[in-house]
Amino acid sequence: MMQKTIGMYIANKVKDEIFRPQQVEDDEGGVQYVEQGSDPLDGELIRDSSGTVLGRAYRVPAAVYVVAASNADADVALETALNDPEHETIIHWEGDEIGALVFVSSAARASAATGPGGFRADDV
């Protein structure tokens, strides 16, 4: 019985140390306590380059996709699409929740409009 009590005490102390609520600054400069999760950015205040608070970041459990050429680097293609003022964002819904975000750059959309480059077998 004593070992069980000591074991529970140690387990609770470890849990309290690992999963201690985190102090987070709110919009007015006060402190709130937020339970730690697996995502450190979820719930954090986001500021622009001049320090102005833009709002709070919230994690949306959705997959992110980018439309690009077959041999393209996906990270570079995503950055290009997001920096493209003419890019298109397609939201794929799964019921009432967002299941995926698909980003399409204007260059990918333009290459799709011209169609695949190919020829017919009897044209050879």
Distances 15 to 23, 24, 98, 123 between C-alpha atoms, Å: 17, 20, 33, 71
Q: What is the pLDDT of residue 50?
A: 92
The pLDDT averaged over each successive group of 10 residues in the chain (124 residues) is 55 54 63 62 88 88 85 88 91 88 88 63 52
Q: DSSP 3-state assignment of 103?
A: strand
Distances 23 to 26, 85, 104 between C-alpha atoms, Å: 10, 37, 38
Each domain of the chain, given as residue ranges in start order, spans 1-59, 60-115
Q: What is the pLDDT of residue 98?
A: 86
Spatial separation of the C-alpha atoms in residues 100 and 61, rounded to whole Å: 8
CA nearest 88: which of 113, 122, 70, 71? 113
Spatial separation of the C-alpha atoms in residues 48 and 75, rounded to whole Å: 23
Q: What is the pLDDT of residue 89?
A: 92
- For 62, residues 6+ apart whose C-beta sits below 8 A from its C-beta are 97, 98, 99, 100, 101
Q: What is the pLDDT of residue 43?
A: 84
Q: How many CA atoms lie within 13 A of 4 on its CB side?
A: 1
> Model-level pTM?
0.54
Q: What is the pLDDT of residue 25?
A: 63
* Cα angle: 70, vertex 76, 78; to 5 degrees: 85
Q: What is the pLDDT of residue 111?
A: 80
